[in-house]
Structure 1
């Protein structure tokens, strides 16, 4: 007869096995491999910077964006334009409290022109100079007649060796530099190009700053200004805030005639036309001019003549 203790042990084992959950005999490794095989294949999407030629479908043609060969133009009929007196009146309202000599009127002439065509550039002396404090250095024999004439014409520095030593010491106290032909060899021997070249002050025959008579060039440089077309626009300072409307009118007329003359000297194949004229100042927005001196509702020129 089986002892009672053995029967109790078998009953306890049966109870424990009945309470345990069913064991899953499928291994984890087999499940992961099966899921990998059954998962759908993902396609690579085009990322930023990828080559569109590789992503396009076979036979598909990608259209390139058309670029304009000329600069954008605006319809002036839908734009408000001003006479010269009205534009000066509004510009002065933006410059209240400023010194008449510290603020400059600037004129921008917008052209109808091609982007890759030749540009308009020149140097001009206005009837009423805008910048009169230009410092000009003249390299010439200090005891020559050219030195005496250059000093009388308004040159700031005149000489040879003294100027060379000052430039090498870093004391470049001038805005323009002219060299007389007789001093050209000494200037090159002193290696002035190393110091003046990076600053754009080195005299050269191509730029018209190596001359026989410096005094004649000084008259054009003092009070003169350079203008150059950039992105289809020719800009230049045209006056000071204290200029009268009549002085501004004379400066504008000379500037416009010079730009038209430069455009006329270009090749016949190059066509440039005036599109718009804008007057602005140091701190004001631009005002498109309609070509009139004053309108019926404009203030009198005398009211704009007070600084």
Structure 2
């Protein structure tokens, strides 16, 4: 799978991009909330390579919010076997955070770019299948909303922003919101037995941790069902090394699938993300999950996107 990141009038990156993550924060269900639009963000991680200049990313991050040039058009294309799997465009993106990390051990630098779409501005998402369909049929247009054709069949969904029904497709943002809500309803909550088992395991770990450890590190626990139907406990720690002491892990399986591009922004090496990533890679089912500290908002978004947020039995950070 390959990525191509294009920032209009500035830069094109292909070889150095390692991963791209999209986040959508839907409007709150709280009727007192004034925000009626979703918040769209993306995080791009990659290597700082001499073959592709990444200095324009740093320069973009330095532009103050008072300068109109802080908003840029950015497009990410994800391709596989010469087919566009996903093409996402943020037409008015600004930098929330940018970081660069270098190491003498590896001799390679890494960057992480966190951008967000201007509030209330639509995000476009297309694929090769949609582009083919677009050539065969003309999608209806509704003022104020960008409609993209669906593949294979027409889909009817209420457009909340307009109070109308759109046929033939929905915006990228609404599609993600609908997908997330569907995952929440379709994924069963943990059984009382599994909840109690995970909570007890988390409590056991906290009992052997020092007060200093409780403040600076996190251990995550997951009760999983393997392909052969057996239940087992997994444990992971936050950080690049993923070290878990013997008195903490006991008979649990230690998960250490850490990634070099993990940092304080994308939180890829947090204990919870390590567990979720391993479960996905090994095709096991997470029955219940917990951690020794409250789950951070970034990990909550990842868990939400995987339909696993309802598996958490310990508190979430607000």
The bucket for the TM-score relative to the shorter chain is under 0.3
The higher relative CO (CA closer than 8 Å, separation ≥ 6) is in: 1
TM-score (norm 2): 0.20
TM-score (norm 1): 0.20
Q: Which has the larger radius of gyration?
A: 1
